[in-house]
Amino acid sequence: MPTFRRAVAWFIDFALVVALASVLAVLTFNRISTLVTDVPELATRGGFDLLTSRGDVVDASEDLGLSLWNKSVLYVEQAFGLLVVVTFLYQWACLALIGRTLGKGLTGLRITPRGPGAAARRAAVTTTADVAVYAVACVLLIEGRFALSVLVWAVAVALFLVNALPVLGAGRRSLADRVAGTSVTGLGLSRPDAMRPVRTF
């Protein structure tokens, strides 16, 4: 049952990451659309490139296209970078302040011991295994480095499994737990005295 609760907690936390990724995707798409559809700016840039091209119109058009492509790729890279940073801050802040993320809180779990150092180490490993390496693979794919992207994707899958599979063992501690020196336990809630049955004689 604890393993099942940890899995549910992970899905809840990862759903928050997916929601954030969706918002960033929409914002990035809008930024790129604005860049492409900003006709006056493109006309000004295109006219300047044409005047300074000394008749090489093809080269001027190619430079304009590369400029748009590079800006679009930069916007996507910024979105992935922001996703990684926000995921780390979410994990670190929740663990350092209250000892559990939203997912763990909803499933009655907490991280012990609690502290900023352990929280930072655990957040770093969790973010790397769940988001960061996949983000690097996606960026490499966008940049056209297909072979390296596939290799990084394989590393991402392996790292995710190395972090998650030890939870199924006897110790029930993930790679993040071992690096941070933490463990996942139940909240240990008990009924208040007022709710306990009273023995009558």
pLDDT in tens, 94-131: 999 999 999 999 999 999 888 889 999 999 999 999 99
> 133-142 vs 57-98: helix axis angle to the nearest 10?
170
Neighbouring CB atoms inside 10 A of 158's CB total 12
Exposure letters 37-68 (e unless 16+ CB within 10 A, then b) = eeeeeeeebeeebeeeeeeeeeebeebbeeee
Give the model's pLDDT for residue 44.
Answer: 54
Q: Specify the pTM.
A: 0.79
Tokens of 25: 């995707």
Q: pLDDT band for 49, please (50, 70, 90 cuts).
A: low
DSSP 166: G
Give the model's pLDDT for residue 190.
Answer: 38
DSSP 199: P
pLDDT exceeds 80 at position 8: yes
pLDDT exceeds 80 at position 52: no
Give the model's pLDDT for residue 42.
Answer: 53
Q: Which helix (H) or strand (E) holds 109?
A: strand 109-112
The span from the CA of 7 to the CA of 164, in Å, is 9
Higher pLDDT, 85 or 186: 85
Q: pLDDT band for 167, please (50, 70, 90 cuts).
A: confident
pLDDT tens-digit readout, 17-46: 999 999 999 999 988 888 767 645 555 554
The span from the CA of 169 to the CA of 162, in Å, is 12
Residue 113: asked if its preceding bond is cis (omega within 30°), the reply is yes
Percent of the chain exceeding pLDDT 90 equals 55
Contact assessment for residue 45 and residue 36, using Cβ atoms and an 8 Å cutoff? no
Contact assessment for residue 130 and residue 175, using Cβ atoms and an 8 Å cutoff? no
